[in-house]
Amino acid sequence: MTKFSWSRLMSFTMLISVLTLAACGNGDPSDEESTDDSDAETEENVDEDADENTDTSAESEPKVTEFEPAFPEQTRAPEVETEAELDVEVVAEGLDVSWGMEEFDTNRLLVTQRDSAELLIINLEDGSVSDPIEGTPEVNNEGQGGLLDVTIAPDFDESRLVFMTFAQDLEDGTVTAVGKGVLSEDEASLEDFEVIFQAEPAYDGDLHYGGRIIFDDEDNLFLTTGERSDDPIRERAQDLDAYLGKVIHITQDGEAVDTNPFIEDEDALDGIYSYGHRNIQGVDFHPETGELWVVEFGPQAGDELNIIEPGSNYGWPIVSYGIEYTGELINDGISEHEAQGFVEPVYYWDPTSAPSGMSFYDNDAIPEWENDLFIGGLAPNYIVRVVIEDDFIVGEERLLTEEGERFRDILVTEDGALIAITDGGSIYKIAAAGEGTEEDDVDTDDDDAE
């Protein structure tokens, strides 16, 4: 396991920057970086501006200048910096694309491997990786498909139920599916695995599955789905007879929760909770308010952070703060959500952050982080810390910007460590610097390990 001090890493990075500028004069270097990846769409090539110190915003110059935010705090929040000293550790590396994770036992994670459809157990204390757990479902792993998210039942200690999402083949194409199985006592297999929900209609494509799941306080599941990306199928995000581009609310048996907002609407699917979404890969409940927050990919720019209100329409693909990949405006450039009858995002990013999994910091191990939101960034490659006050975003910080990793999911452990898994197969642990760890805070040549 590779361990290094965050403060020493930042000091070293700053020193290298100063020496480079001194050697090269006063040029303005640009960190344009290609993100060659099968995850196309918002995760494609982006421009990274490394010199972010000329602006109070944590972001570089906006890519889309045609739009104005609906309110001042909706984008480009001021840059903030963590004051506490942090230890950063690479717990494991050399894995497959690691897509979802859950702490099922103290410092032990269930981690999905997207492309190989494997479920592994990772021990955060010693970095050990189990053999693949048997009994995982067959998946379609083309494009953005594969084995996606994982979570455990609220009564896992008794039931040992594990829930997973994945891309499943049907006759007419693929769907986002939810299944469940029982983790055996020896932790070697999933028993009696069954599919409980399929987000139909099926579509013959390999993009935008969504696929995050989370339990609410009544032991029911929220599931997010993508709108499958292509035009015209993406229009179905607006249709209440399709489970594409939706937040879905189901029981542990895959049935619609009986309090869902469209349960009495004969023309709507009972499981729909909200609609008009593009591709949601991050979901969590705010620790104080209990509100359900999601983060979803925009097209070019326009990634959104939303608070989910039951029955509400979030506007995609009618409105957006982003633009098409061709550079064309979306729907003639309508960005104002509320004026069109849609919910305005709490926040949006321009340029893109390609946001994936996220987690609120519900712990006191690092007091200044309490109730902040941490989001994995795919392109550019960093973790985003979002500071929130009264549902407004008042600050942003970029973490692990030098690692060159696509951070796919974020989790906060019981003891307050921030865990991040990556498409490159690495697992990072960020924790408050502890006493007696200075001897481990050494410079390494493999900080960018995959």
Q: Which residues are catalytic?
A: 208
Q: Where are the alpha helices (DSSP H) in 25-101?
A: none
Region of residue 15 (phi > 0: left; psi between -120 and 50: alpha; otherwise: beta): alpha
Per residue in 325-364, is it b (16+ CB within 10 Å) or e — as a string? eeeebbeeebbebeeeebbbbbbbbbbbbbbbbbbbbbbe
Helix/strand/coil for 53: coil
Looking at residue 255, the DSSP 8-state letter turns out to be P
ω into 345 cis (within 30 of 0): no
For the record, the structure tokens of 392 come out as 């407004």
Region of residue 94 (phi > 0: left; psi between -120 and 50: alpha; otherwise: beta): left
Kindly report the CA angle at 446 between 443 and 448, in degrees rounded to 5?
115
Segments of 93-203 assigned E as strands: 98-105, 108-113, 118-123, 147-152, 161-170, 173-183, 190-198
> Do residues 6 and 88 lie in contact, with contact meaning Cβ atoms separated by under 8 Å?
yes
* CA 425 – CA 101 distance, rounded (Å): 13
